[in-house]
Amino acid sequence: MNINSHIDHTLLSATATERDIIDHCNQAKKHQFYSVCINSCYIPLAKQLLNGSNVKICTVVGFPLGATATSSKVSEAKQAINDGAHEIDMVMNLGFFKSKNYVEVFKDIKDVKSAIGKIPLKVILEISELSKNGIVKASEICLDAKVDFIKTSTGFTKSGATLTAVKIIRKTVRKNCKIKASGGIGDYETARKYIDIGVERIGTSKGVAISNGELSCADH
């Protein structure tokens, strides 16, 4: 199984330089990752670097807190698509969610989904901040909003993806939504475990290590 085709090769650091982005995009082309996942300021540069390749551009919206106004998230998403993004990863409004203001959580997501049309939308739940019941409820809201992927984590909190959380999401959404596991996935064996339980996409800043791990496994 070619795990590289499941990887969103991620570089979301606030201090990422143009040189870093150039190197990142070159890695993505060399390893044929599904996409690069980068901050929106670098979409034009990535578009230029990836022109003619199969590597897609994914960016983040309302990242990493999810606490920006819905209108800001919509505007961010539209601008990103205009600049060349192929997929949008938005962060759910955790404050609204913990306030049990589920209608506003839904509207926040639905407004972005409506604004971007057929462009795939992934919604980041930030599972480290949620109970098991919270993961179920957030997944149900995402289902109602007809998002394309549910994504586990930003990678910017104390912990990231867990197999347990992915299993809860999958049990909730069944085959009605894809799952992206992200945050703390740094080696081939771990990435493979997520793929084996039905995760369609891996968000990771360690794509090269994972890819090399697959190669060394294949050699044995």
Ligand X SMILES: O=C[C@H](O)COP(=O)(O)O
Residue type, 66: G
For position 206 contacting ligand X by CB under 6 A, the verdict is yes
- Residue 12 binds ligand X (CB under 6 A): yes
Examine residue 201 and tell whether it contacts ligand X (CB under 6 A): no
182 near ligand X, judged by CB under 6 A = yes
CA distance 13 to 10: 9
* CA separation for the pair 132, 23 (Å, rounded): 38
Active site residue 151: yes
Task: Give CA separation, 138 vs 41, 124, 172, 176, in Å.
Answer: 29, 10, 10, 14
Place of tokens 């294949």: 218
Q: Which of 56, 137, 151, 206 is catalytic?
A: 151
160 is a contact residue toward ligand X (CB under 6 A): yes
- What is the helix (H) or strand (E) element at residue 163, kind and residue range? helix 163-173
Q: Give Cα separations from 74 to 5, 42, 80, 125, 177 (angstroms).
A: 28, 18, 10, 18, 21
| CA-to-CA dists, residue 67 to 72, 73, 90, 130, 178, angstroms | 10, 9, 11, 16, 24
Instruction: Give backbone dihedrals phi and psi of 88, rounded to 5 degrees, phi first.
Output: -120, 130
Q: How far is the CB of 124 from ligand X (least distance, A)?
A: 8
180 is catalytic: yes
Please tell me whether residue 11 binds ligand X under the rule CB under 6 A. Answer: no
Closest CA to 93 of 133, 123, 119: 123
Looking at 205, 208, 211, 213, which residue binds ligand X (CB under 6 A)? Answer: 205
Q: Does 203 bind ligand X (CB under 6 A)?
A: yes
In whole angstroms, the minimum distance from the beta carbon of 70 to ligand X comes to: 22
Active-site choice (8, 89, 108, 148): 89
Map the footprint of ligand X across residues 109-148, applying CB under 6 A. none
Tell the smallest beta-carbon distance from residue 219 to ligand X (Å). Answer: 25
Q: How far is the CB of 103 from ligand X (least distance, A)?
A: 28
100 is catalytic: no
Task: Give the position of tokens 């926040």.
Answer: 108
Find the shortest distance in angstroms from Cβ 194 to ligand X: 12
104 or 184: CB nearest ligand X: 184
Asked if residue 84 binds ligand X (CB under 6 A), the reply is: no
Q: Where does this chain bind ligand X (CB under 6 A)?
A: 10, 12, 37, 154-155, 160, 182-185, 203-206
Q: Which residues are catalytic?
A: 89, 151, 180
